[in-house]
Amino acid sequence: MASIRGTNDRDILEGTDAADTITGLEDNDSLFGLLGDDVLIGDEGDDRLDGGEGDDVLVGGEDDDSLFGGTGRDRLTANEGNDRLDGQDGDDNLFGGPGEDLLQGGNGRDSLDGDEDNDRLEGGNGPDTLQGGAGDDILDGGNGQDNLNGQDGNDQLFGRDGQDILNGNDGDDQLEGGAAQDILRGDDGTDQLKGGDGPDSLFGGNGNDDLLGENGNDSLRGQSGDDTLAGGAGDDDLFGGDGNDTLGGGQGNDRLLGQDGNDRLNGNQGQDRLEGGAGEDRLEGDGDDDQLLGGQGNDTLLGGNGQDELRGDQGNDTLLGGSSNDTLSGSTGADRLEGEQGNDTLLGEDGDDILLGGRGNDILDGGNQVDRLFGNDGRDNILGGRGADHLEGGSGNDVLQGGVGADVLLGEDGNDTLLGDAGGDRLDGGTGNDTLNGGTGADTLRGGTGNDTYVVDRAGDSVAEQDNEGRDTVQASISYTLGSAVENLILTGAGRLNGTGTASNNRIIGNDNRNKLEGRGGNDTLLGNDGTDRLLGGSGNDTLNGGNGNDQLVGGLGVDRLNGGAGRDRFIFENSNEVGDRIQGFSTVDDQIVISRQGFDLNLARGQLRQGRFIVGNQARDQGDRFIYNANAGVLFFDADGVGGETKVRVATLSAGLAFTNNNIVLT
């Protein structure tokens, strides 16, 4: 072991093979430890210290020194000046001290501490620990699993190869993870973090930070401050934290959570899930099939391309589905939902919502409260839900259902179906062949132009039609009289109902119970269906069909066509001027012709016609004959005085060759 001291001049000092202590003193000295565990002290001047082999201790002293550890576990301390420290081989400890120093770990597990001023630290090969200390430092981990701490100042940290941990600490720092799986923490200050390749974890810390995941499945957390997070390639998780943050998923199937603050989230490419959290957030799914949840606050959600799911959650939210087939749910609050293109499903849920289907065949459900729903283009299915809602079908053949509450339903263009449900509703079909059903409550129904169908279930329902707006039909489960501009009536349900026409040409159909159908003016068609029905044609050339059951048919004025159908039917002629009808399917076994004695001015006994008052032939044979059946022509005549001539009146035309007798005629 030797103790070697230089002079105050420029010295070159070499040690021995043993553990030497070499001191340079003043001036620019060169110290070489050679073999052994040496201690080299540069002292004053710009010195070069080379430890050589062994576990050496190198101390630079004052001025700008260069320290080389050589092989072994070396400890290098620069002290003052702008120094260069190179640990070279072995597991070394390097301390820069005051001044702008360059620290290079070399090979091995090294520890580098820049200490004061603006230093550059390079870990080299191996798992190194780098601490910048005070000043604006540059830390380069190199190869291996490195731990980099910028500490005070605005630092730059580069992990390079290996699974690195980078901590910016205080100041506005730049961190780049490089290859492999890295952990980056910005801590205090406005920091910039880049993950690089591999599945990285980035933490912004305090301050308004920029985080970029780049390649790999990364996790980015902005934490405090107004941060900008970009996932880059891969399936990334982004958490905005506190503050008004901007999150971009980039490529891959990403998960973005804005958390607190007024955040802006964009999923970009891939099937992404976006959650705004608290605050007034803006979420954009962009490409592919995305899931968007607004969270608390008044949020704006845009689905973009793909089949997206959008849910506003709490607050007064705005949801736009974009292209493709989307599902939009407003949840609580007064929300605005627009499906835009595609076959969309819009659910307003709680709150006073506005729903617009846009293009495509959409489903709209207002949910609770007072909603406004617009189907726009396409064949839409629109449900108002609970509350006094306003529904508009737009173009296309739409289905509108008001739900509970006093609703307004406007079918507009197309062949629409309008269902008011519970409450006193107002239904307007618009153009097209519409079906209007008010449901329970006193409803107002207006079909508009086209051949419309009205469903009436109570006396409080009002049907409003104008002339020349099509041939319209009322389906009534109550007794009903048609309005002046409605042509057809169909009785429904199981009750005994009456149906009455207008002065126009009507078609009235009964149900399967006992009905009274009255055509009044016009050329009417009355169909009794099942049940014991009474059909009255009124004036005009009417067609009456009793259907099944024992029916009564009164043609009235005009040349009518009467068909009793199955059952024991009665064809009633109340006046001598209400004759000339044609009776089809008359059964001499079951059916009867009923003649009013008063209407025909007959002084004959009530009941079945006596045999002496009836004859089969061409004309009466004596004054007692009043009714003549011409079997060849199938015509039944009435002769007021029994002498023929001009007084003979054609009552009805039946089938020829019937076994018609006086038993088929009854006087009332």
Could you read off the pLDDT of 619-665 as tens digits, one per residue? 888 888 999 999 999 999 999 887 665 578 999 999 999 999 999 99
- Please give the C-alpha separations between residue 255 and each of 198, 209, 250, 513, 663, in angstroms, as whole numbers: 17, 19, 11, 64, 91
Residue 528 pLDDT > 90, yes or no? yes
Residue 11: the pLDDT is 85
Give the structural domain span for 19. Answer: 1-117
Q: What is the pLDDT of residues 160-184, one digit of tens each?
A: 999 999 999 999 999 999 999 999 9
Higher per-residue pLDDT: 16 or 245:
245
Mean pLDDT of 344-353: 96
- Please give the C-alpha separations between residue 227 and each of 167, 170, 291, in angstroms, as whole numbers: 17, 17, 22
Tokens of 252: 């891959």
Among 603, 572, 591, smallest CA distance to 660 is for 591
Name the residue type at position 323. Answer: S
Tokens of 59: 């101390």
> Per the domain annotation, does 665 fall within a domain?
no
Q: Give the torsion through C-alpha atoms of 563, 568, 569, 573, to 10 deg.
A: 140
Residue 597 pLDDT > 60, yes or no? yes
| Three-state DSSP state, 188 | coil
Mean pLDDT of 88-98: 95
Residues 6+ away with beta carbon under 8 Å from 598: none
Mean pLDDT of 145-157: 96
Mean pLDDT (the chain, rounded): 95
Mean pLDDT of 130-137: 95
> Per the domain annotation, does 591 fall within a domain?
no
In the chain, % of residues over pLDDT 90: 90
Tokens of 208: 């308004």
Residue 303: the pLDDT is 95
Residue 442: the pLDDT is 93
| Three-state DSSP state, 156 | strand
pTM above 0.85, yes or no: no
> Per the domain annotation, does 488 fall within a domain?
no
Residue 444 pLDDT > 60, yes or no? yes
For tokens 């490409």, what's the residue? Answer: 287
Element holding 517 (H helix, E strand): strand 515-518
Residue 481 pLDDT > 70, yes or no? yes
| Three-state DSSP state, 512 | coil
Mean pLDDT of 348-368: 95
> Per the domain annotation, does 15 fall within a domain?
yes
CB neighbours of residue 617 within 10 Å: 13
Whole-angstrom distance, CA of residue 213 vs CA of residue 71:
38
- b/e per residue, 146-164, with b = 16+ CB within 10 A? bbbbbbbbbbbbbbbbbbb
Residue 485 CA from chain centroid, whole number: 41
> Per the domain annotation, does 39 fall within a domain?
yes
Whole-angstrom distance, CA of residue 252 vs CA of residue 647:
99
| Three-state DSSP state, 497 | strand
CB neighbours of residue 116 within 10 Å: 17
> Per the domain annotation, does 111 fall within a domain?
yes
Residues 6+ away with beta carbon under 8 Å from 89: 69, 70, 71, 72, 106, 107, 108
Residue 167: the pLDDT is 97
Residue 624: the pLDDT is 87
DSSP 598: T
Whole-angstrom distance, CA of residue 532 vs CA of residue 513:
7
Residue 1 pLDDT > 80, yes or no? no
Degrees, nearest 5: CA angle 608-612-616? 95
Residues 6+ away with beta carbon under 8 Å from 645: none
Q: What is the pLDDT of residues 566-594, one digit of tens each?
A: 999 999 999 999 999 999 999 999 999 99
- Please give the C-alpha separations between residue 173 and each of 163, 194, 225, in angstroms, as whole numbers: 20, 11, 15
Residues in the chain: 668
User: How many domains, the chain?
Assistant: 1
Mean pLDDT of 385-407: 95
Backbone angles phi, psi at 318, to 5 degrees: -120, 125
> Per the domain annotation, does 522 fall within a domain?
no
> Per the domain annotation, does 232 fall within a domain?
no
